[in-house]
Chain A
Amino acid sequence: MAENSVLPPDLSLVLERITDGFFALDAQWRIAYMNAEARKLLQAPRDAIGEFWLEAFPLARGRLFEREYHRAMRDQQPVQFVEYSKTANLWFEVKAYPSPDGISVYFRDVSSRIEAQREIERNARRQQALIDFGRTALAGSSFDQIVNDALDLVRDVLETPIADVLDFDADEQRFAVRRSLGWGAYAAFDPSRPLVAHLEQVVRTGEPFVCADVRIDPRARALAQLQHNNVLSCVAVLIGTSAQPQGVIVVYYPLTRTFSVGDVRFVQAVAQTVAETANALESNRRMAQVLESIRDAFVAVDRDLRITYVNSQMARYWNVAPADVIGRRLEEYTAHFDVEGVALRSFKEALANEHSMTYENRVRGRWYETRLYPFANGVAAYVRDVTRRKREQERILNINAELERRVAQRTRQLEIANNELESFSYSVSHDLRAPLRAIDGFSQALVEDYGDVLDERGRGYSERVRKAAQRMADLIDALLRLAKVARAPMTFAEVDLSALATTVVEDLREGDPERPVAVTVEPGLTATGESHLLAIVLQNLIGNAWKFTRRCDRPAIAVGRDPQGEFFVRDNGAGFDMAYGNKLFGAFQRLHSADEYEGTGIGLATVARIVHRHGGSIRAEGAIGEGATFYFTLPGSKD
């Protein structure tokens, strides 16, 4: 006890019991006392008492221990600090209390706490490093650059000199070196050799391979056979998934080493970033391929209208290299041709409304159509040269304008012709009739006033002159009616043909009450048309039937509609020779002599004209002595 201490024995007993290490130095920095815990922690010999403390613990020289104790003595103030002891290979938390006679030092091992702290800090640093790597990888230009960065990162963080990235070809089931770092003079691991069972397992299972000592691990026989000192332990992790393995990252350490879970997780995280970046690059590459293959020019901008992508077609329009414009503002490239600001306005509008839109503009004499598609982070724009289409449109517009001009001109000419026809009709009705009246009137006057100098034959001639004049007057009236039918404005309405036909028949009976004609009119015949004109049709057709049945024993007329929807007027009268059927509907065409049946020869022409103006057709069937049937259609009519 006395050897241990200059202190009274009872105090010494207390100090021996405390769990902290404790020692005391005298005013000459000699060790005055040291408890058992201190000797244990510092692995100090028993005879250290009385020794100068820095000679007993030379590794404390120049460190916080020396500096803080001296400060405490100088200031006569207690000090407290944490420092790593090279003597003990432990972290100590130290409290020192000075007095004029010396200094008392209490210390304890806080290594586990400090290590935990350092682990937390290390993890935080790794986390940050991963984030930074992820960011660089996303912005990275090439995959090889990213692989290189990944290897630098794992070597740096895990403090291992050597690392590889191997590609895995799933079709060939083979590895190939993409990048090896740190092998120096030694031959790198050759993955083409057949002994890669440990890596194949990683690819197959997705589980990392962790080996602390290749010499005693049977799975790592291939590594052991490298037979050099650089590789004694390693970690291999999968890039990608076991379903879609892309490759492995392998980290080698020259000493035996038990890699921590955190170490392995870190390498896995790097591998994941590499895989994601590879996928993103691949999809970008595919996207770029698509965007390059389309004939449209393409540009994508972010929400600030900064360019994020252009395809080569767009770059050609702008006369720039695609890489030079990334990150620049859109208007730098559009301003010089977007004079009216259409492009910029449209981009902003598409962004604001989140609506796709299209605009056309003209640049250096060519027309471009731009379609804008807003998405979450910006707008994609496809630009197409539509000059040819535009010119075609313009040409068509011109042709249309020319056509309209010609139609207008033709219409004017028609109007003029119509007006001329109008005044012609007017003249006919006035001027042609006046001489006829004179012919008729004076013929009669001749007979009346000079009948005594005319014989029977002379009076007969006069009568013929008058008949001829009357006939010509009838012809003029018929012609005027035909002209009127052609020009009359048409107001379409539902017309009751049965009622019209019945009226016509009643008029005929009234004018010719002696004739026993059997007439049947099918009830409920309706048509869509101009009722005045359709009345003229029926007047003529039924009138003809009435006329041409004059010589029949049992005259009969039927008005109806056949199953095909054609209206018809049928009689059992004189009929006609079908050989001349085509002459029926021409003006002044007659199949009967005026002696047999009177008529102007214009009635059926008028009928045909009316039917045609309704978009319908008319035809006739008959035979001499067997009657005639006139069929006509009115397309607007309901069946």
Chain B
Amino acid sequence: MSKPYILLVEDNPDDVELTQRAFAKNHIINDIVVLSDGAAACEFLFNETARGRALPQVILLDLKLPKISGLEVLERIRADASTRLIPTVILTSSKQEEDLLEGYRLGVNSYVRKPVDFNEFVEAVRQVGLYWLVLNEPPPGVGGGGM
């Protein structure tokens, strides 16, 4: 079994770096696997090699992704028996009502809008990490806590 890790699906490298920075500021040292589009995320989660790999502790999913949209990735995660129990958090700029509704309809665990203010962003990441990586008891088979 490999180490527990966080899967971040985000195409904007600035946001990737800021997110990583926010994790670091919150002393979250878990590995972060970054994938920059929806297709790559699906490949990572569902192809043959994924079978032998541990599932991520939490998936942070942007909505506006190249190739396959975040909502579609979410739908596939929830449709596949091997991934359907992974805590998945939408981390996006949008707070459009349709996106919110569709996200929850597809079974997202949390929906977090990325604040422009970096301090607020750090705080948001802190709370997400605290909750999903520390407080929350993951379902069996999903990687354990690792702060």
Contact = CB atoms under 8 A, between A and B. Distances in A.
A440 B118 CA distance: 6
B21 A433 contact: no
A584 B119 CA distance: 34
Given A426-B96, A429-B93, A434 B118 contact: no
B96 A441 contact: no
Interface string B86-124: 000000111110000000000000000011111101000
Given A430-B64, A442-B14, A445-B21, A437 B94 contact: no
Given A441-B14, A441-B121, A436 B94 contact: no
Nearest to B25: A448
Contacts of B116: 433, 436-437, 440, 469-470, 473
B94 A430 contact: yes
B43 interface: no
A438 interface: yes
A544 interface: no
Interface in A458-487: 466, 469-470, 473
Contacts of B115: 437
A425 B114 CA distance: 17
A435 B18 CA distance: 12
Interface in B44-102: 63-64, 92-96
A436 B121 CA distance: 12
Residue from A426, A437, A438, A473 having most chain B Cβ neighbours under 10 A:
A437
A203 to B, nearest CB: 103
B12 interface: yes
A470 B18 CA distance: 16
Interface string A442-454: 1111000000000
A440 B117 contact: yes
B15 interface: yes
Contacts of A425: 96
Contact of A426 (B15, B18, B94, B117): B94
Contacts, number: 59
A483 to B, nearest CB: 11
A47 B119 CA distance: 177
B15 A434 contact: yes
A470 B93 contact: no
B117 A470 contact: yes
Contacts of B118: 437, 440-441, 443-445, 466
A473 B118 CA distance: 12
Interface residues of A, number: 21
A425 B95 CA distance: 11
A426 B92 CA distance: 12
Residue from A429, A443, A445 having most chain B Cβ neighbours under 10 A:
A429
A496 to B, nearest CB: 25
B12 A434 contact: yes
Contact of A438 (B14, B94, B95, B117): B14
A473 B113 CA distance: 13
B96 A438 contact: no
A433 B12 CA distance: 12
Given A441-B121, A469-B116, A433 B18 contact: no
A318 B59 CA distance: 91
Contacts of A469: 116
A485 to B, nearest CB: 13
B119 A437 contact: no
Contacts of B117: 440, 466, 470, 473
Given A425-B96, A441-B21, 17 more contacts: A429-B94, A430-B94, A431-B93, A436-B116, A437-B14, A437-B114, A437-B121, A438-B18, A440-B116, A441-B121, A443-B118, A444-B118, A444-B119, A445-B21, A466-B117, A470-B116, A473-B116
28 contacts: A426-B94, A429-B96, A430-B63, A430-B64, A430-B92, A430-B94, A434-B12, A434-B93, A437-B14, A437-B15, A437-B18, A437-B93, A437-B115, A437-B116, A437-B118, A437-B121, A438-B12, A438-B15, A440-B116, A440-B117, A440-B118, A441-B14, A441-B118, A443-B118, A444-B119, A445-B118, A466-B117, A473-B117
Interface of B: 12, 14-15, 18, 21, 63-64, 92-96, 114-119, 121
- A-B complex: 6 closest residue pairs judged by Cβ atoms: A438-B14, A473-B116, A441-B118, A441-B18, A433-B93, A444-B118
